Chain A
Amino acid sequence: MAQDQIFNLDDENGIRLLPIAIALDREQEIYLVQIFEEQNEAKKKYLRGELILVQDCILTSSFCDTIHFFEEINLFDAGNDQNRYLAVTEYMSTKNLKLKYDGSVDVFISKALARGMYKIFNLSFTGYSMAALLEREFRLSPQILTQLLHKFEFLLK
Protein backbone atom coordinates (compact mmCIF):
# COMPACT_ATOMS: atom_id res chain seq x y z
CA MET A 1 0.00 0.00 0.00
CA ALA A 2 1.24 3.46 -0.81
CA GLN A 3 1.82 4.96 2.60
CA ASP A 4 3.58 8.16 1.53
CA GLN A 5 0.97 10.77 2.11
CA ILE A 6 2.76 13.82 0.75
CA PHE A 7 3.10 13.05 -2.87
CA ASN A 8 4.00 15.08 -5.92
CA LEU A 9 4.33 13.49 -9.27
CA ASP A 10 7.74 14.59 -10.47
CA ASP A 11 9.44 13.59 -13.67
CA GLU A 12 13.10 12.57 -13.82
CA ASN A 13 14.23 16.23 -13.82
CA GLY A 14 12.23 17.11 -10.71
CA ILE A 15 9.54 19.08 -12.53
CA ARG A 16 6.07 18.99 -10.99
CA LEU A 17 3.25 17.47 -13.02
CA LEU A 18 -0.51 17.84 -12.69
CA PRO A 19 -3.52 16.23 -14.41
CA ILE A 20 -6.53 18.10 -15.81
CA ALA A 21 -9.65 16.33 -17.03
CA ILE A 22 -11.38 17.69 -20.14
CA ALA A 23 -14.94 16.48 -20.67
CA LEU A 24 -15.58 14.93 -24.09
CA ASP A 25 -19.03 13.61 -23.17
CA ARG A 26 -20.50 14.30 -19.76
CA GLU A 27 -23.55 12.09 -20.31
CA GLN A 28 -21.48 8.93 -20.65
CA GLU A 29 -18.54 10.21 -18.60
CA ILE A 30 -15.86 10.22 -21.28
CA TYR A 31 -12.88 12.40 -20.36
CA LEU A 32 -9.55 13.33 -21.85
CA VAL A 33 -7.01 13.63 -19.01
CA GLN A 34 -4.10 15.86 -19.92
CA ILE A 35 -0.91 15.75 -17.87
CA PHE A 36 0.90 19.06 -17.71
CA GLU A 37 4.29 20.23 -16.67
CA GLU A 38 4.24 23.64 -15.02
CA GLN A 39 7.30 25.84 -14.83
CA ASN A 40 6.34 28.72 -12.59
CA GLU A 41 9.64 30.59 -12.94
CA ALA A 42 9.60 30.57 -16.74
CA LYS A 43 5.77 30.92 -16.75
CA LYS A 44 5.49 28.02 -19.17
CA LYS A 45 3.15 25.06 -19.34
CA TYR A 46 3.89 21.96 -21.39
CA LEU A 47 1.79 18.93 -22.25
CA ARG A 48 3.45 15.71 -21.06
CA GLY A 49 0.73 13.07 -21.40
CA GLU A 50 -2.76 12.27 -22.68
CA LEU A 51 -5.11 9.64 -21.27
CA ILE A 52 -8.67 8.58 -21.96
CA LEU A 53 -10.92 7.98 -18.92
CA VAL A 54 -14.30 6.34 -19.64
CA GLN A 55 -16.60 5.78 -16.65
CA ASP A 56 -14.35 3.91 -14.17
CA CYS A 57 -11.78 2.79 -16.70
CA ILE A 58 -8.51 4.28 -17.90
CA LEU A 59 -8.67 3.20 -21.54
CA THR A 60 -5.37 4.51 -22.86
CA SER A 61 -2.32 5.65 -20.94
CA SER A 62 0.04 6.89 -23.65
CA PHE A 63 -0.24 9.62 -26.27
CA CYS A 64 0.26 7.11 -29.06
CA ASP A 65 -2.75 5.01 -27.92
CA THR A 66 -4.85 8.13 -27.41
CA ILE A 67 -4.20 9.27 -30.99
CA HIS A 68 -5.19 5.80 -32.24
CA PHE A 69 -8.42 6.00 -30.25
CA PHE A 70 -9.31 9.38 -31.77
CA GLU A 71 -8.50 8.23 -35.30
CA GLU A 72 -10.95 5.35 -34.81
CA ILE A 73 -13.53 7.94 -33.76
CA ASN A 74 -12.64 10.09 -36.77
CA LEU A 75 -13.03 7.19 -39.21
CA PHE A 76 -16.35 6.27 -37.58
CA ASP A 77 -18.10 3.65 -39.78
CA ALA A 78 -15.14 3.56 -42.16
CA GLY A 79 -13.31 1.67 -39.43
CA ASN A 80 -13.43 -2.12 -39.39
CA ASP A 81 -13.03 -5.17 -37.17
CA GLN A 82 -9.38 -4.35 -36.71
CA ASN A 83 -10.37 -1.40 -34.48
CA ARG A 84 -8.72 -1.75 -31.09
CA TYR A 85 -11.05 0.40 -28.99
CA LEU A 86 -14.31 0.83 -30.88
CA ALA A 87 -16.54 -1.64 -32.71
CA VAL A 88 -18.87 -0.52 -35.51
CA THR A 89 -22.44 -1.59 -34.73
CA GLU A 90 -25.62 -1.22 -36.72
CA TYR A 91 -29.11 -0.98 -35.28
CA MET A 92 -32.19 -0.15 -37.41
CA SER A 93 -29.83 0.84 -40.27
CA THR A 94 -28.14 3.43 -38.00
CA LYS A 95 -24.45 2.95 -37.46
CA ASN A 96 -22.86 3.58 -34.07
CA LEU A 97 -19.58 2.93 -32.34
CA LYS A 98 -19.55 0.67 -29.28
CA LEU A 99 -16.69 0.89 -26.84
CA LYS A 100 -14.72 -2.33 -26.29
CA TYR A 101 -13.91 -2.35 -22.58
CA ASP A 102 -14.60 -4.24 -19.34
CA GLY A 103 -16.96 -1.66 -17.85
CA SER A 104 -20.40 -2.42 -16.44
CA VAL A 105 -22.20 0.14 -18.65
CA ASP A 106 -22.27 -0.08 -22.45
CA VAL A 107 -20.97 3.09 -24.12
CA PHE A 108 -22.31 3.97 -27.59
CA ILE A 109 -20.97 6.85 -29.66
CA SER A 110 -23.20 8.32 -32.36
CA LYS A 111 -21.89 10.10 -35.45
CA ALA A 112 -22.56 13.59 -34.08
CA LEU A 113 -21.00 12.70 -30.74
CA ALA A 114 -17.92 11.34 -32.48
CA ARG A 115 -17.51 14.58 -34.45
CA GLY A 116 -17.96 16.65 -31.29
CA MET A 117 -15.41 14.59 -29.36
CA TYR A 118 -12.90 14.85 -32.16
CA LYS A 119 -13.40 18.62 -32.27
CA ILE A 120 -12.80 19.01 -28.51
CA PHE A 121 -9.70 16.82 -28.80
CA ASN A 122 -8.25 19.08 -31.49
CA LEU A 123 -9.19 22.23 -29.56
CA SER A 124 -7.41 20.93 -26.44
CA PHE A 125 -4.01 21.40 -28.12
CA THR A 126 -4.43 25.04 -29.03
CA GLY A 127 -1.78 27.18 -27.43
CA TYR A 128 0.54 24.29 -26.57
CA SER A 129 3.73 23.18 -28.17
CA MET A 130 3.48 19.55 -29.25
CA ALA A 131 7.23 19.04 -29.13
CA ALA A 132 7.34 18.33 -25.35
CA LEU A 133 4.55 15.76 -25.67
CA LEU A 134 6.07 13.95 -28.62
CA GLU A 135 9.69 13.99 -27.47
CA ARG A 136 9.46 13.83 -23.68
CA GLU A 137 6.24 12.03 -22.91
CA PHE A 138 5.97 11.03 -19.26
CA ARG A 139 5.70 7.26 -18.97
CA LEU A 140 3.18 6.34 -16.28
CA SER A 141 3.28 3.20 -14.17
CA PRO A 142 0.08 1.87 -12.48
CA GLN A 143 1.39 2.95 -9.04
CA ILE A 144 2.30 6.48 -10.09
CA LEU A 145 -0.96 6.92 -11.98
CA THR A 146 -2.93 5.69 -8.93
CA GLN A 147 -1.18 8.13 -6.64
CA LEU A 148 -1.73 10.95 -9.12
CA LEU A 149 -5.45 10.17 -9.41
CA HIS A 150 -5.70 9.91 -5.62
CA LYS A 151 -3.98 13.21 -5.01
CA PHE A 152 -6.24 15.09 -7.39
CA GLU A 153 -9.36 13.29 -6.07
CA PHE A 154 -10.19 11.36 -9.22
CA LEU A 155 -10.76 8.27 -7.06
CA LEU A 156 -13.76 9.79 -5.29
CA LYS A 157 -17.31 9.12 -6.46
Chain B
Amino acid sequence: MVDANILFIGILFLGGYRVYKTFNEKTKISEFQKLESISRDKAQDNKIEERKPEPAYQLHTHKVKYWLYNSSYSLRTYSLIGLYNDLVLKNLWLNEPYHTKFYEILMVLDKNELMILDPHSRVITMNVRGKDNKVSTSKSFQVFATKDIIEATLSNAMSDIVRFNHHDAQHIVIAICVIALEQSLHYQSHEVALDIVKMVLKNYAYSEDVCSIIGLLKEEDEQLKFVSSAFKIALQTSSTYAYNDSEVPKSLQLPTKLPQKFLKEI
Protein backbone atom coordinates (compact mmCIF):
# COMPACT_ATOMS: atom_id res chain seq x y z
CA MET B 1 0.00 0.00 0.00
CA VAL B 2 2.80 2.34 0.98
CA ASP B 3 4.63 1.39 -2.22
CA ALA B 4 1.65 2.19 -4.31
CA ASN B 5 1.34 5.61 -2.65
CA ILE B 6 5.00 6.33 -3.20
CA LEU B 7 4.67 5.28 -6.84
CA PHE B 8 1.62 7.55 -7.29
CA ILE B 9 3.43 10.51 -5.72
CA GLY B 10 6.45 9.78 -7.88
CA ILE B 11 4.37 9.75 -11.02
CA LEU B 12 2.66 12.97 -9.98
CA PHE B 13 5.99 14.59 -9.24
CA LEU B 14 7.44 13.51 -12.56
CA GLY B 15 4.33 14.69 -14.45
CA GLY B 16 4.43 18.03 -12.65
CA TYR B 17 8.12 18.46 -13.41
CA ARG B 18 7.60 17.74 -17.11
CA VAL B 19 4.73 20.19 -17.34
CA TYR B 20 6.89 22.81 -15.60
CA LYS B 21 9.82 22.11 -17.97
CA THR B 22 7.78 22.36 -21.15
CA PHE B 23 6.18 25.59 -19.96
CA ASN B 24 9.59 27.02 -19.22
CA GLU B 25 10.85 26.04 -22.64
CA LYS B 26 7.85 27.62 -24.36
CA THR B 27 8.32 30.95 -22.61
CA LYS B 28 12.00 30.87 -23.50
CA ILE B 29 11.21 30.18 -27.17
CA SER B 30 8.62 32.99 -27.35
CA GLU B 31 11.04 35.38 -25.67
CA PHE B 32 13.73 34.37 -28.15
CA GLN B 33 11.33 34.82 -31.05
CA LYS B 34 10.41 38.23 -29.76
CA LEU B 35 14.02 39.23 -29.50
CA GLU B 36 14.70 37.88 -32.91
CA SER B 37 11.79 39.79 -34.50
CA ILE B 38 12.84 43.03 -32.80
CA SER B 39 16.37 42.63 -34.02
CA ARG B 40 15.05 41.83 -37.50
CA ASP B 41 12.89 44.96 -37.47
CA LYS B 42 15.82 47.01 -36.34
CA ALA B 43 17.91 45.57 -39.14
CA GLN B 44 15.13 46.40 -41.65
CA ASP B 45 14.94 49.96 -40.38
CA ASN B 46 18.65 50.29 -40.85
CA LYS B 47 18.32 48.95 -44.39
CA ILE B 48 15.61 51.56 -45.31
CA GLU B 49 17.69 54.32 -43.90
CA GLU B 50 20.70 53.15 -45.76
CA ARG B 51 18.93 52.89 -49.16
CA LYS B 52 19.61 55.95 -51.38
CA PRO B 53 16.62 57.95 -52.71
CA GLU B 54 15.85 57.22 -56.36
CA PRO B 55 16.87 60.10 -58.67
CA ALA B 56 13.84 62.08 -59.96
CA TYR B 57 14.10 62.31 -63.73
CA GLN B 58 12.86 65.51 -65.39
CA LEU B 59 9.93 65.16 -67.77
CA HIS B 60 11.09 66.25 -71.20
CA THR B 61 7.81 67.91 -72.14
CA HIS B 62 9.63 70.58 -74.12
CA LYS B 63 10.93 67.88 -76.39
CA VAL B 64 7.46 66.60 -77.34
CA LYS B 65 6.83 67.20 -81.03
CA TYR B 66 3.41 67.70 -82.64
CA TRP B 67 2.18 67.44 -86.21
CA LEU B 68 1.58 71.08 -87.17
CA TYR B 69 1.15 73.23 -90.25
CA ASN B 70 3.87 75.73 -91.01
CA SER B 71 1.70 78.82 -90.66
CA SER B 72 4.48 81.36 -91.06
CA TYR B 73 5.41 79.77 -94.38
CA SER B 74 2.02 79.29 -96.03
CA LEU B 75 0.08 82.28 -94.62
CA ARG B 76 0.97 85.82 -95.67
CA THR B 77 -1.15 87.70 -93.15
CA TYR B 78 0.39 88.20 -89.74
CA SER B 79 -2.97 88.33 -87.93
CA LEU B 80 -3.96 84.91 -89.32
CA ILE B 81 -0.70 83.35 -88.12
CA GLY B 82 -1.55 84.79 -84.69
CA LEU B 83 -5.01 83.26 -84.91
CA TYR B 84 -3.54 79.82 -85.69
CA ASN B 85 -1.19 80.14 -82.71
CA ASP B 86 -3.97 81.28 -80.35
CA LEU B 87 -6.68 78.85 -81.38
CA VAL B 88 -4.74 75.72 -82.25
CA LEU B 89 -1.36 75.77 -80.54
CA LYS B 90 -2.21 77.45 -77.22
CA ASN B 91 -5.25 75.24 -76.58
CA LEU B 92 -3.57 72.18 -78.17
CA TRP B 93 -6.64 71.67 -80.37
CA LEU B 94 -4.72 69.38 -82.71
CA ASN B 95 -7.49 66.83 -83.16
CA GLU B 96 -8.68 66.09 -86.67
CA PRO B 97 -10.75 67.09 -88.61
CA TYR B 98 -10.92 70.43 -86.74
CA HIS B 99 -7.22 71.20 -87.16
CA THR B 100 -7.21 70.79 -90.93
CA LYS B 101 -10.61 72.45 -91.46
CA PHE B 102 -9.60 75.52 -89.47
CA TYR B 103 -6.36 75.79 -91.40
CA GLU B 104 -8.31 75.52 -94.66
CA ILE B 105 -10.50 78.50 -93.59
CA LEU B 106 -7.38 80.49 -92.68
CA MET B 107 -5.94 79.79 -96.13
CA VAL B 108 -9.15 80.93 -97.87
CA LEU B 109 -9.10 84.16 -95.83
CA ASP B 110 -5.42 84.65 -96.59
CA LYS B 111 -5.63 84.16 -100.33
CA ASN B 112 -8.82 86.18 -101.01
CA GLU B 113 -9.56 89.76 -100.11
CA LEU B 114 -13.03 89.17 -98.74
CA MET B 115 -14.85 92.09 -97.20
CA ILE B 116 -17.95 92.94 -95.20
CA LEU B 117 -19.95 96.04 -96.11
CA ASP B 118 -19.92 98.62 -93.31
CA PRO B 119 -23.55 99.11 -92.17
CA HIS B 120 -22.81 102.82 -91.66
CA SER B 121 -21.45 103.32 -95.16
CA ARG B 122 -23.01 105.36 -97.97
CA VAL B 123 -22.78 103.96 -101.47
CA ILE B 124 -21.57 106.84 -103.61
CA THR B 125 -21.98 106.71 -107.39
CA MET B 126 -19.06 108.43 -109.05
CA ASN B 127 -18.92 109.92 -112.52
CA VAL B 128 -15.23 110.48 -113.02
CA ARG B 129 -13.61 111.74 -116.19
CA GLY B 130 -10.53 109.62 -116.72
CA LYS B 131 -7.28 110.25 -118.59
CA ASP B 132 -8.93 109.30 -121.88
CA ASN B 133 -11.54 112.06 -121.25
CA LYS B 134 -14.32 109.47 -121.04
CA VAL B 135 -16.68 109.56 -118.09
CA SER B 136 -16.73 106.26 -116.20
CA THR B 137 -19.37 105.46 -113.61
CA SER B 138 -18.48 103.37 -110.57
CA LYS B 139 -19.65 102.83 -107.01
CA SER B 140 -17.64 103.47 -103.87
CA PHE B 141 -18.29 102.38 -100.32
CA GLN B 142 -16.63 101.62 -97.03
CA VAL B 143 -15.85 98.02 -96.07
CA PHE B 144 -14.25 95.90 -93.36
CA ALA B 145 -11.77 93.16 -94.15
CA THR B 146 -13.39 89.81 -93.27
CA LYS B 147 -10.15 88.47 -91.79
CA ASP B 148 -9.96 91.46 -89.41
CA ILE B 149 -13.55 90.86 -88.29
CA ILE B 150 -13.01 87.10 -87.74
CA GLU B 151 -9.80 87.73 -85.84
CA ALA B 152 -11.34 90.43 -83.65
CA THR B 153 -14.52 88.41 -82.96
CA LEU B 154 -12.60 85.28 -81.99
CA SER B 155 -10.19 87.14 -79.73
CA ASN B 156 -13.09 89.02 -78.09
CA ALA B 157 -15.07 85.82 -77.51
CA MET B 158 -12.13 83.51 -76.68
CA SER B 159 -12.51 83.68 -72.89
CA ASP B 160 -16.15 82.58 -73.22
CA ILE B 161 -15.48 79.94 -75.88
CA VAL B 162 -12.95 78.03 -73.78
CA ARG B 163 -15.56 77.52 -71.05
CA PHE B 164 -17.29 74.94 -73.26
CA ASN B 165 -15.88 71.45 -73.66
CA HIS B 166 -13.33 71.39 -76.42
CA HIS B 167 -15.58 69.76 -79.04
CA ASP B 168 -18.33 72.37 -78.63
CA ALA B 169 -15.74 75.15 -78.46
CA GLN B 170 -14.27 74.04 -81.77
CA HIS B 171 -17.75 73.92 -83.37
CA ILE B 172 -18.40 77.47 -82.13
CA VAL B 173 -15.11 78.66 -83.67
CA ILE B 174 -16.02 77.15 -87.06
CA ALA B 175 -19.57 78.55 -86.78
CA ILE B 176 -18.23 82.09 -86.17
CA CYS B 177 -16.03 81.79 -89.27
CA VAL B 178 -18.98 80.57 -91.36
CA ILE B 179 -21.26 83.42 -90.21
CA ALA B 180 -18.59 86.02 -91.05
CA LEU B 181 -18.03 84.39 -94.46
CA GLU B 182 -21.78 84.40 -95.16
CA GLN B 183 -21.86 88.19 -94.75
CA SER B 184 -18.81 88.70 -96.93
CA LEU B 185 -18.58 90.08 -100.43
CA HIS B 186 -16.00 89.29 -103.03
CA TYR B 187 -16.05 92.14 -105.55
CA GLN B 188 -19.77 92.77 -104.91
CA SER B 189 -20.65 89.14 -105.44
CA HIS B 190 -22.56 87.43 -102.63
CA GLU B 191 -22.70 84.06 -104.36
CA VAL B 192 -18.96 83.54 -104.33
CA ALA B 193 -18.92 83.93 -100.55
CA LEU B 194 -21.67 81.31 -100.34
CA ASP B 195 -19.48 79.00 -102.43
CA ILE B 196 -16.81 79.31 -99.77
CA VAL B 197 -19.32 78.48 -97.02
CA LYS B 198 -20.35 75.36 -98.93
CA MET B 199 -16.72 74.39 -99.35
CA VAL B 200 -16.07 74.87 -95.63
CA LEU B 201 -18.97 72.69 -94.53
CA LYS B 202 -18.50 70.04 -97.20
CA ASN B 203 -16.56 66.94 -96.11
CA TYR B 204 -16.53 68.09 -92.50
CA ALA B 205 -17.53 65.31 -90.13
CA TYR B 206 -19.23 67.67 -87.67
CA SER B 207 -20.95 69.92 -90.21
CA GLU B 208 -24.39 69.06 -88.74
CA ASP B 209 -23.25 70.17 -85.28
CA VAL B 210 -21.78 73.35 -86.75
CA CYS B 211 -25.03 74.05 -88.64
CA SER B 212 -27.10 73.63 -85.48
CA ILE B 213 -24.77 76.06 -83.65
CA ILE B 214 -25.14 78.53 -86.54
CA GLY B 215 -28.92 78.18 -86.12
CA LEU B 216 -28.61 78.89 -82.40
CA LEU B 217 -26.40 81.92 -83.10
CA LYS B 218 -28.93 83.33 -85.56
CA GLU B 219 -31.77 82.81 -83.06
CA GLU B 220 -29.60 84.66 -80.49
CA ASP B 221 -29.57 81.81 -78.00
CA GLU B 222 -29.02 82.90 -74.38
CA GLN B 223 -25.86 80.79 -73.93
CA LEU B 224 -24.26 82.07 -77.13
CA LYS B 225 -25.13 85.76 -76.69
CA PHE B 226 -21.45 86.56 -76.17
CA VAL B 227 -20.76 85.80 -79.86
CA SER B 228 -23.08 88.50 -81.21
CA SER B 229 -21.73 91.07 -78.74
CA ALA B 230 -18.15 90.12 -79.71
CA PHE B 231 -19.12 90.54 -83.37
CA LYS B 232 -20.60 93.99 -82.69
CA ILE B 233 -17.46 95.05 -80.81
CA ALA B 234 -15.37 93.78 -83.74
CA LEU B 235 -17.37 95.95 -86.16
CA GLN B 236 -16.87 98.97 -83.92
CA THR B 237 -13.15 98.53 -83.40
CA SER B 238 -11.87 97.21 -86.74
CA SER B 239 -10.45 99.63 -89.24
CA THR B 240 -12.38 100.37 -92.42
CA TYR B 241 -11.13 100.41 -96.00
CA ALA B 242 -12.28 102.20 -99.11
CA TYR B 243 -13.61 100.10 -101.97
CA ASN B 244 -14.36 101.11 -105.53
CA ASP B 245 -16.01 98.61 -107.86
CA SER B 246 -14.15 99.78 -110.95
CA GLU B 247 -11.26 97.60 -109.82
CA VAL B 248 -10.73 94.52 -111.92
CA PRO B 249 -11.97 91.53 -109.93
CA LYS B 250 -9.54 88.73 -109.22
CA SER B 251 -10.97 85.24 -109.37
CA LEU B 252 -11.72 83.47 -106.12
CA GLN B 253 -8.89 81.26 -104.95
CA LEU B 254 -9.80 78.13 -103.03
CA PRO B 255 -7.03 75.91 -101.71
CA THR B 256 -7.03 72.70 -103.72
CA LYS B 257 -4.23 71.10 -101.75
CA LEU B 258 -3.28 71.79 -98.17
CA PRO B 259 0.40 71.99 -97.26
CA GLN B 260 2.01 69.07 -95.49
CA LYS B 261 2.13 68.93 -91.71
CA PHE B 262 5.50 68.55 -90.07
CA LEU B 263 6.74 67.62 -86.60
CA LYS B 264 7.46 70.62 -84.46
CA GLU B 265 8.07 71.41 -80.82
CA ILE B 266 5.74 73.97 -79.28
Q: Which A residues are closer than 8 A to B by beta carbons? A: 1-3, 5, 53, 56-62, 65, 101-103, 139-143, 145-147, 149-151, 154-157
Contact = CB atoms under 8 A, between A and B. Distances in A.
B157 to A, nearest CB: 25
B18 interface: no
Contacts of A157: 120-122
B120 A142 contact: no
Contacts of B246: 142-143
A147 B128 CA distance: 14
A8 B243 CA distance: 16
Interface of B: 113, 115, 120-131, 136-138, 140-143, 145, 239-244, 246-247
A1 B243 contact: yes
Contacts of A154: 122, 124
A146 B121 contact: no
Contacts of A142: 126, 128, 136, 138, 140, 244, 246
Given A61-B129, A154-B124, A155-B122, A1 B145 contact: yes
A101 B128 CA distance: 13
A157 to B, nearest CB: 5
Q: With a 10 A CB-CB cut-off, give which of A53, A58, A140 has the most chain B CB atoms.
A: A58
Contact of B240 (A59, A60, A143, A150): A150
Contacts of B121: 155-157
25 contacts: A1-B115, A1-B143, A1-B241, A1-B243, A53-B124, A57-B124, A57-B125, A58-B125, A58-B128, A61-B129, A102-B137, A142-B140, A143-B244, A143-B246, A145-B140, A145-B244, A146-B126, A146-B140, A146-B242, A150-B140, A150-B241, A155-B122, A155-B124, A155-B140, A155-B141
B93 to A, nearest CB: 30
